[in-house]
Chains A and B, each alone.
Chain A
């Protein structure tokens, strides 16, 4: 079974600082990997996805993530945080059966 671990349930960063959200997965085969963002009282929105085409994936709003097979990781970064990045972020993994397994989520707070 697939599992996803997000390190840190809450991350606080200053505006303009680096955002780093960690995600590790367990999988016996290379999976599809996703980062979703959830703003307050909204559904989930796709930030980016890894589908084996390239290990460095660029997404919306300046986010990117790097797939490292040797570390089974898919960490999300953004060089400079903006106040609008305050949200909850979910890492998800999918094998080839269309289902997603989600991590517990990381809440990002941005300090002015």
Chain B
């Protein structure tokens, strides 16, 4: 069955370190998204991609970067982790013909000490 996976599921890191969160989907979807979830804010869009070599900034992109070298993967990198980036991160994907429905991964809980 097609799916979307995230790794690691839990990560503890220190302030200033570079961290990369992986997202892999086997739906063959064109569109991929990264969100962060914080209490009282719902999900906020960090970065998104509409295809290979395409990346775009979302509403909370400062301190994050992504790259899309193939259809299946959209890794999220925190260049220099900050305590304000402690959050739960979700990856999602969608098809151009899917009426904008997004399919979500299980999430990565990141703690920055």
Give residues in A with beta carbon < 8 Å to B.
Answer: 4, 9, 32, 34, 36, 41-46, 49, 51, 90, 94, 96, 98-105
How far does the Cβ of B54 sit from chain A's closest Cβ, in whole Å? 12
B48→A99 contact, CB < 8 A: yes
What is the interface of chain B mostly: helix, strand, loop, or mixed? strand
B40→A104 contact, CB < 8 A: yes
Give residues in B with beta carbon < 8 Å to A.
Answer: 31, 33, 35, 40-45, 48, 50, 58, 90, 92, 94, 96, 99-107
B105→A43 contact, CB < 8 A: yes
Minimum CB distance partner of B100 in chain A: A94
How far does the Cβ of A59 sit from chain B's closest Cβ, in whole Å? 12
How far does the Cβ of A44 sit from chain B's closest Cβ, in whole Å? 4
How far does the Cβ of B18 sit from chain A's closest Cβ, in whole Å? 25
CA distance A99 to B43 in the complex (A): 12
Minimum CB distance partner of A51 in chain B: B99
Given contacts A43-B90, A43-B106, contact A102 B100 (CB under 8 A): no
B104→A43 contact, CB < 8 A: yes
B50: which A residues are within 8 A, CB to CB? Answer: 98
Most chain A C-beta atoms within 10 Å of own C-beta, residue among B92, B101, B106:
B101
CA distance A42 to B106 in the complex (A): 5
Minimum CB distance partner of A100 in chain B: B102
Given contacts A32-B99, A98-B94, A99-B48, contact A45 B104 (CB under 8 A): yes
| Cβ 8 A contact of A98, one of B31, B104, B106 | B31
| Cβ 8 A contact of B41, one of A32, A36, A100, A104 | A104
| Cβ 8 A contact of A103, one of B31, B42, B90, B104 | B42
B99→A90 contact, CB < 8 A: no
A44→B90 contact, CB < 8 A: yes
Minimum CB distance partner of A43 in chain B: B104
| Cβ 8 A contact of B42, one of A34, A49, A90, A99 | A90
CA distance A4 to B43 in the complex (A): 12
Given contacts A9-B40, A105-B42, contact A100 B90 (CB under 8 A): no
